[in-house]
Chain A
Amino acid sequence: MKTRTTLIFLLLAAAAGLLAWVNIYAGEVGLSHGRLAHILFARDLSDVESKIVWEIRLPRVVAAAVLGGALALSGYLLQAFFANPIAGPYVLGISSGAKLAVAALMVAASEFGFGVRAYMSVGAAFVGASIATSFVIFAARKVRSMSVLIVCGVMIGYICSAATELLVSFADDANIVNLHNWSLGSFASVSWNDARWFLPLTAVGVAVSALLAKGVEAYLYGEDYAASLGMSVKKFRAALILTSSLLSATVAAFAGPISFVGIAVPHVARRALKSANPRVVIPASFLGGAVFCLFCDLLARRMFAPRELSISTVTAVFGAPIVISMLLGKRRA
């Protein structure tokens, strides 16, 4: 492996470790580093402080890291699918589709009086993501232009958001606050119970992506070329889009829609590595997504503490300029 690649992976791992620590350390309830180390490594669950660390901060850090990685990876797979570096689950409206489905589920739950279980949200998110994806694929068949595709995605996003707003206005008061927070995107309410779902789902998504890496590389050079190499393009595309949907639906179900991570992170990863090889870009995107979301979540929590920002607010601040620079770069090319 090239030194550059090694260096970047080391940097990413260090950043992830450091940010994880800082995220757990920082908070309203102050802790010394020694105390924190003791709580974490001795698995001390005796007092309130340790409960805060173990029940609130740690699951949130895990969620930010894992779901952030999943989101970046989902974006990378979509970019491969559409052969378009500006594709991502948020801009293509896929996250919003998932959001709408989950919102519908929540409203239905309060209306008919059943409790929303984690698997229900994941299922609903997956259905919503898949429907939105189908729309985008349909649009992509009709138009061959990258920018038109993005506009279609954004429109789908607006439609879904509008429908979500509509649902929220008809929902019971008690649920609105909850739903409103979630619909803006946040890692705040993630519990260990949720982790039992999103950890294996993300693991599956990552494993399948690793297996798809070889195909993604060939697919970068065009559909016909991939087919000429003996690849089953139809099956490959299906695997690609299903994996991407699974990953973005998982994120949407537990953290709501999070903007720009899917586009910005793989792009930065490619630039930093100076490589198109999926075998390195895939792990780098995942790690990069984790670092980026840990960083953004830290800011979301602490910048205006005790007020918390929605995660998308922060990711947009950092992600949108990257995407804009990409668009401008494309224009130049």
Chain B
Amino acid sequence: MSTISTDPHHHADHGHHHPPAGLKRWFYTTNHKDIGTLYLLFALTMFFIGGAMAMVIRAELFQPGLQLVEPAFFNQMTTVHGLIMVFGAVMPAFTGLANWLIPMMIGAPDMALPRMNNWSFWILPFAFAILLMSLFMEGGGPGFGWTFYAPLSTKYSGDSTALFVFSVHIMGISSIMGAINVIVTIFNLRAPGMTWMKMPLFVWTWLITAFLLIAVMPVLAGTVTMVLTDKYFGTSFFDAAGGGDPVLFQHIFWFFGHPEVYIMILPAFGIVSSIVPTFSRKPLFGYASMVYATSSIALLSFLVWAHHMFTTGMPVFAELFFMYCTMLIAVPTGVKVFNWVATMWRGALTFEVPMMFAIAFIVLFTIGGLSGLMLAITPADFQYHDTYFVVAHFHYVLVTGAIFSIIAAAYYWLPKWTGHMYDETLGQWHFWCSLISVNVLFFPMHFVGLAGMPRRIPDYALQFADFNALISIGGFAFGLSQLLFVWLLVKCIKGGPAATSQVWEGAEGLEWQLSSPPPYHSFTTPPDVK
């Protein structure tokens, strides 16, 4: 896409080339690569903590009846699993990738506001410490679902609700500051010649994601604030007796919640749009249409929130409006899937691990998208609402969508970050184990959902027993498969064959013209982009 005419090392003459030693490096850092690493390691840790909770859920659901945990604890597990995976695993992983990659991709010296960048990260471990500590409070942690619907979170919740509210507040502060940093970096720190339509798609998708974050995280802050005052200070935003409405909660929450869904998938589109051209050895098909499709998905995301609430008794006009707007999103998404497939068409394909995960993303994300279309049909949704079909749908888009793209990105850029090639055989094992187990895990959920099994309940009717046992086996296998990934990461960070600057034969873009690993400060003076 672009080439550098100056050697970046030549200009790195302003003092420290090497990071300071010890723990201070990580606590005090202003370096986008260090902060990116911190974000990624934090996300991986939270992925395993949230994953352990999923294992508890699947263990309880292995058989009908109540055997392992109390129902209240089961509710806390589903709640905190969701919160951790959304706010602690997927979002920080994408922010970590943004930190590592955006400055290198646009030829910037660092992020625009490096100290604030550090603050954005270090808030997160504290926010999740509060959330996790609340599980050990008297009365237990939050058990009202990650969507914390009123009145579950206002009238029927425990004392830990206040901790939940304030931890969400500071997570929001972190996300907003991170997003402001990304936007300002992209607007203001592009190297000369890095025009808008030359930007790699990962940068484009993150720019739009950052806009979504700044627009909706404050709305989430407002929502939790109203929950707080309703629960503790006698307001009645979500209480009909005081003139409010519990459905109001859902409107405000999903006005945040639906753009949030795209916050978790747009950067994934950027990643896949980087990987597929490399291993197809062809430029991305339809670059401009990808940019426009991403923008239209983002705009539409503000007009579809009530498709989460079809069964709340909205007027028919609203049901139709939100149904049609939702279906409209299939158009730009279809453009994207078409473009990825067209990029591979007649390409000189090879199937290294990042490409395998990217292809799996395209197929499985599309399955998740199509079940989303089914859910978008209002009358059909009356049947699917709150069943395992919904669980199957959003796990296809979030696990085989967002998480697979993050894993693909990790394999793709790992040689660049560490300077070592990862173990390809182990990676292929990781891929195939993940691919098979994830489908054993989530695909049967479609069936039990269509047959009427409700979500978020620790017990179920006997006819769902066989499928649930199968689902649980898939779940344990998927969880264990991820240990292969950790083993591979440790091996790769410790050593391995040296990676070249370009790493992949077909890779293009500024980051591949830096050494592997790149110097601590990449572009102190900007490269000229042709």
A, B co-complexed:
no
Interface residues of A (CB under 8 A from B): none
Interface residues of B (CB under 8 A from A): none
